[in-house]
Chain A
């Protein structure tokens, strides 16, 4: 399985994970270690940046994990930029999952504010991974302004509905010159495998692992699924055909 490179970091795991919704921080720690994930998101709103003994961060203090602070909770580009700078200073990383959702019910990302904030943040030296709709044009615009990857959603966040945006994800994957990370909505290992088989560079999973009865084993299942999907993609999947190809009645006259 080929390694994935984003900005200047190489990842041997293509499973990225979230840290919310777990029943306890030690359960989260065990599950994420088992998942093999090397990039884990941390919501700014959940960590206490005033102290140096935050319990979530303490459990993520492993060489395996790179932290990816996210701006969940902000509603505008201006708020996102402020939060990003705070995260950079407190967590000592210039990586950022840019998440702007003015809609707190469905948590839909705002394309206009996201493009605006990403433009500024790239200029300020951030490695920006924007969470967006599966909008192929928006993804190209973000690539143009210099984001390190794009993170289109598979279905509404936390919905476990899988790749409802499949047709658009295919276009994004086909067109993109930066890594495509399918984020949100991946509710089962089979969804993750499907995204990888389609050629996504990585997936981000949170709810499906955190809310499982056995988060540690579910993390393992996702690890295996992501790997299987990627190897299948690299090995070139056979085409699906609806009919057998025994004869060529339309072009036989050319033989």
Chain B
């Protein structure tokens, strides 16, 4: 059995009804509890919970501090390639977008590594599009070997791979893999991903099962917020998380909140989420799961990021470039998406400290795996 079997039984419309029919009484009932279940999560992200946002945020703040303390983990993305053979209607790397394509060579990878190491980062997230022939297992293996001397923690956000591929990469020193489902709506998934390996919904939704079987230390999941109804997608994502925690209890989990942003691809937002609703969603995840890592990128505004530190997010990037080679040579290739918060690492650290939090750069060691 994989999660595909479970998600296949979900009726999208009925699931939506079960969220949108939540009442004030459901929300109040949920907020009185210590342990939250999926029905509470639905109530907390429903429109009925919107007037209770301050209270939800307060609970989220306390629960987050209890588990994670007054600390926030910092990481930085390192874009290795923007080559891609997928067509995704919303993505700046999509095959049909006419932008220069670039895959970093060994010396370019090292050049980028040295720069971001100098900026203070010790946890790095490697990102690519999906070009299986030129940027596949061997490329990733080589990249990890090159980067291992520089970083304590290496994460990967690339195309889904086979279990045995993950096992090989873990042996090289890979710690974390992030694969976002984008949307759990099977019918519309096909519309958003008309071409390329990514169009295979089943293969993608089973990725975390393969990662769990490969005994990855940490895996990430998430949806592209705004592509489909964000509430229904988030409940599916929470179901996925609960399934994974039961089956792969030796792995850690992280959830991210990418909001659809303007990019070279361009797509209509079906279900936009407001800032207030995004806070509501992040806090609802925290109440559902106290131990979960919640992560945020520089897609969000400085104002939003400064204030979300206290509300449930535990891992955050800063000072990021989303084009390959962008740290050494800014503005050479087109970015995957627009950065909103472009403040320097130093500026952002000062904000974290002012909020009474310790910016943590190192929270792993290669010797531990």
User: Cα distance A57–B323 when bound, in Å?
Assistant: 37
User: Cα distance A103–B251 when bound, in Å?
Assistant: 7
Considering only CB atoms, which chain A residue lies closest to B62 in the complex? Answer: A211
Considering only CB atoms, which chain A residue lies closest to B250 in the complex? Answer: A102
Contact present for B250 and A44 (CB under 8 Å) = no
Residues on the A chain within 8 Å of B217, using CB: 104
Chain B residues proximal to chain A, CB less than 8 Å: 65-71, 122, 152, 217-218, 245, 249-252, 291, 353, 356-358, 360, 362-365, 367-369
Contact present for A21 and B362 (CB under 8 Å) = no
Within 8 A of B (CB), among A10-40: 20-25
- A114 → B minimal CB distance (Å): 15
Q: Does A148 contact B (CB under 8 A)?
A: no
Known: A22-B69, A158-B66. A45 touches B252 (CB 8 A): no
Considering only CB atoms, which chain A residue lies closest to B357 in the complex? Answer: A23
Contact present for A46 and B70 (CB under 8 Å) = no
0/1 interface trace, chain A 102-145, chain B, CB 8 Å (1 if under): 11111000000000000000000000000000000000000000
Interface residues on A, range: 20 to 34
Contact present for B358 and A23 (CB under 8 Å) = yes
- A20 → B minimal CB distance (Å): 6
Contact present for B249 and A82 (CB under 8 Å) = no
Contact present for B365 and A73 (CB under 8 Å) = yes
Report which residue of A45, A83, A86 has the largest number of chain B beta carbons within 10 angstroms of its beta carbon: A45
Contact present for B365 and A45 (CB under 8 Å) = yes
Residues on the A chain within 8 Å of B67, using CB: 158
Contact present for B250 and A25 (CB under 8 Å) = no
Contact present for B363 and A22 (CB under 8 Å) = no
Contact present for A105 and B245 (CB under 8 Å) = yes
Q: Does A74 contact B (CB under 8 A)?
A: yes
B251 contacts which of A21, A82, A104, A207 (Cβ < 8 Å)? A104
Q: Does A166 contact B (CB under 8 A)?
A: no
Known: A73-B368, A83-B367, A160-B66. A23 touches B356 (CB 8 A): yes
B362 contacts which of A46, A79, A210 (Cβ < 8 Å)? A46
Known: A104-B252, A207-B69, A210-B69. A24 touches B353 (CB 8 A): yes
User: Cα distance A212–B353 when bound, in Å?
Assistant: 17
Considering only CB atoms, which chain A residue lies closest to B251 in the complex? Answer: A104
Residues on the B chain within 8 Å of A20, using CB: 69, 71
Known: A21-B70, A103-B250, A160-B66. A46 touches B367 (CB 8 A): no
Considering only CB atoms, which chain B residue lies closest to A85 in the complex? Answer: B367
User: Cα distance A86–B357 when bound, in Å?
Assistant: 29
- B231 → A minimal CB distance (Å): 25
User: Cα distance A45–B369 when bound, in Å?
Assistant: 11
Q: Does A48 contact B (CB under 8 A)?
A: yes
Residues on the B chain within 8 Å of A104, using CB: 217-218, 250-252, 291
Residues on the B chain within 8 Å of A158, using CB: 66-67
